[in-house]
Every structure is written in structure tokens, then in C-alpha cells.
Amino acid sequence: MMGGFIVSDYIHFTEEEKQRANSVDLADFLQRQGEKLLPSGRDKRLASDHSITIRGNQWFDHASEEGSHAIDLVQRLYKLSFPDAVTLLLGGEQKIEYRQSGGNREPEPKKPFSLPPPNSDMRRVFAYLIKQRFIDRNVVACFAKAKLLYEDKEYHNAVFVGVDGNGIPRHAHKRGTYTGGKSYKGNVEGCDPRFSFHYTGTGNSIYVFEAPIDLLSFLTLYPQDWKRQSYVSLCGVAEHALLEQLQEHPNILEVFLCLDHDEAGIKATERLEKILQEHGYFDVSVLQSQYKDWNEDLKTRHGVKPLPAKEPEAEEQHCSMKMTM
């Protein structure tokens, strides 16, 4: 046994067995292995590696821009050989039966994007962001007035709206406001990833974050003249929204990458640096929060114990600037 998985000698599998292993529903399989999955539109995202999304028996790594089916992902995640990955997906010694995804079916047509119906007021969202997440009231009010933030009617989620160059909503990220238990977060189905939550100023700098609350927390921590510059939340770690902002606003020449201070965030930052260089942007700086993310830094101002930062194990650290309060 190695890491809880079978390390086998060479095994011959029939084509039917290999196809069955490759058709295993990845959400069912990964959750039974103890993996935590986060909603991301119609997909699910690995909590341990935000760059990887799954749907049915398919996966895609937005960092390396590669993907495939179940066998490849199991080999990749658990460092298994092909025979061991197939054996595990077929149930191993315990003969566990994992749900089949029906991956050979025609893909469902993409659902058109629409904003969730709004609530008549924003009391819960204001209370959650200001009292629980310690966002400055004026920052919250600014985005609410611009109709980039509201409360949905059905679940009272905070909805962070992303618009295109004509001000038309094209993206929405929902964040649960209930403080008891695990809070929901995810993108509305049909979102265009190029237009996630952002603010555009007149200056030549843009600050890049993983989540909308990180962005709002940063503005609360460093409010001086914030409206002059531009900010974008990737609502994940994919580069599409950042590249869209750079294309639409050629005056932006300086990029500050402010992703989470954890292994996934550092990995994504390194990938974004390379992508920016490929697009001719070399004035790129990395800003790191002192703790896990900018909201954790903000919590410390209010006496709340923050989640710690997490550095990659046994990897050389690239140069970055830590923001201190």
C-alpha cells in the first residue's frame, strides 16, 4: 500500500474496463476520497487546488490549460500509475461502485446568463459585509450604488455583478450571508468569465484578486485615493477577466497580483506572471497579505484570529512584497 492506495504489478484491463474507469463521475469519486469541492457555475472546483474544475468525468486545469478524463486526473492527483488509477476507479479491493457520469452523452446547451432576482433591500448583505467581514461601509455603499452589488431575493446572498464595456451584466458571483455553518459561494450559471466583478478607474494600475471580498477588504485596508486605480476579482484564478481589462483599457500599464497567500494562490500568481509577460506586460508586482488573504488581514484589526498564510512546501519562493498594517 502507498498513501492508502494500492500499488499493483502490471494488470491487463479490457477496453470495457478502461472505458468504465474513465467514465466515473469525478464529483462522486473525489468526495469519497475526502476531497472538498466548491461550486463554480455548472462545474465544481477542487478546494485543494482552485485551478482545477470538474464536470461529470471531465476535468480542466486552468493554470496549465490542460484537461482530460477521470483516469488522467486520478494519476495526477494521487501520483499513481495507469494500472493503479484504473484499479482505484473500478473500486479497488473493496469493489466500491462509483457513479458513472454518462460522459459520452452530448453536452447540454449552455444556459443563458441572467441575474438572480433582487431583494427589496440589502439589510442582510450590508450586515454581513460590514459586521462579519469588516468591510468599510462607504466601500460597500459605493458598489451597491453602482449596481455592482446587491442582495438576491431567494437566498439573501450577496451578488457581485460584473459588467461589459457597455455596462451590461455578464457575470455574477454569489456569496452566502448566513454565518452559521458553511457559507455558499459560486458563480451564476452562464457567466462570461471575461467580465467578472471589477472597478475601473482612470489611473494606470490594476490590482488583481481571487474573490470579490478580497478586493473589498483591500480597499478597506488601503483606502487612500482608491477610486483612481482599477481592480478586478477573477472569481477564481483564471486570467480571462484580467486580460479583458488590459485589452479594454490600454492606459493600464502596471499590474499588482494580490492573490491568496497560500499554495494555490502562489501557484496561480506565478502562472499569471508568465501570461502577462507573454502579452507584453513586464511591470508586474506581487503583493501578499500577511495572513491567508486580505480579509484575514482585515480581521486582525478587529481582534479576530486570522487563518494563517501557507507557503508551498520545499519550493523556492519568488520575490514578493508583503503589505503590513
Residue 306 to residue 313: CA distance in whole angstroms: 21
Q: What CATH number does the domain containing 21 carry?
A: 3.90.580.10
Q: Domain total for the chain?
A: 2
- Cβ contact 196:205 at 8 Å: no
- Candidate from 133-137, 146-150, 152-156, 203-207 with smallest mean pLDDT: 152-156
* pLDDT score recorded for residue 257: 98
Domain that holds residue 285: 123-322
Residue 1 clears pLDDT 60, i.e. is over it: no
Which among 257, 165, 240, 261 has a CA at the least distance from the CA of 205? 257
Residue 322, pLDDT score: 65
What angle is formed at CA 199 by the lines to CA 63 and CA 130, rounded to 5 degrees? 100
**Residue 8: what pLDDT?**
44
Over the stretch 15-65, which tens digit does the pLDDT of each residue have? 888 888 899 999 988 888 778 888 887 889 888 787 788 999 999 887 776
Query: Which cell numbers in the block locate residue 260?
Result: 491568496
If pLDDT is split at 50, 70 and 90, which confidence band does 242 have?
very high
pLDDT of res. 7? 44
- Do 134 and 85 share a structural domain? no
Residue 110 has pLDDT above 70, yes or no: no
Give the pLDDT band of residue 92 (cuts 50, 70, 90). Answer: low
CATH number at residue 299: 3.40.1360.10
In this prediction, residue 153 has a pLDDT band, given cuts at 50, 70 and 90, of: very high
d(CA 79, CA 9): 15
Are residue 30 and residue 77 in the same domain, yes or no? Answer: yes
Could you tell me if residue 315 is inside a domain? yes
Which of 76, 94, 112 is the last residue in one of the domains? Answer: 94
Least Cα distance to 233 among 250, 218, 247, 249 occurs for 218
